[in-house]
């Protein structure tokens, strides 16, 4: 049950971030002909990459992240977003470095908020009641 809530919360938050950024930045585009299809597909790909590849990259770059006092961490999200851009090709495009960096910071903040405000309290409550 908690995995479904976790997946749903992250999925919705990524979709909101993509819609907001696509609205305000011209350097971020999702294919207009099938906006919802490619928007949801990009959201799914980012979620899957964040749950599979990102933990490996984070572990491999711990020394670099430590040396930069955590400033390298958003670059991992930049890599995930550019990988999504590469997978979806012309249907999902991020052209500006500032835009991809802004999206990666928004995703980092959203992940932190969801995990600490929603997911962890639910898990603690389930452990205390179980």
Position 96 confidence tier, pLDDT thresholds 50, 70, 90: confident
Distance between CA atoms of residues 11 and 80, nearest Å: 15
Query: How much is the pTM?
Result: 0.82
pLDDT of res. 20: 84
With a pLDDT cut of 70, the percent of the chain lying above it is 98
Q: Could you give the residue ranges of the DSSP H alpha helices within 25-113? A: 35-60, 62-67, 73-88, 97-113
Neighbours of 20 (CB within 10 A): 13
Contact 14, 43 (CB under 8 A): yes
């Amino acid at each position: 049950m908690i995995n479904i809530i976790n997946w749903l919360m992250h999925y919705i938050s990524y979709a909101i971030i993509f819609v907001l950024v696509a609205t305000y930045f011209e350097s971020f585009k999702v294919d207009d002909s099938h906006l919802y299809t490619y928007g949801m597909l990009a959201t799914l790909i980012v979620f899957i990459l964040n749950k599979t590849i990102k933990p490996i990259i984070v572990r491999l770059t711990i020394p670099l992240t430590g040396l930069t006092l955590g400033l390298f961490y958003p670059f991992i999200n930049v890599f995930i977003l550019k990988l999504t851009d590469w997978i979806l090709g012309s249907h999902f495009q991020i052209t500006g470095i500032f835009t991809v960096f802004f999206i990666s910071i928004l995703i980092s903040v959203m992940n932190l908020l969801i995990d600490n405000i929603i997911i962890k309290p639910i898990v603690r409550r389930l452990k205390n009641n179980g």
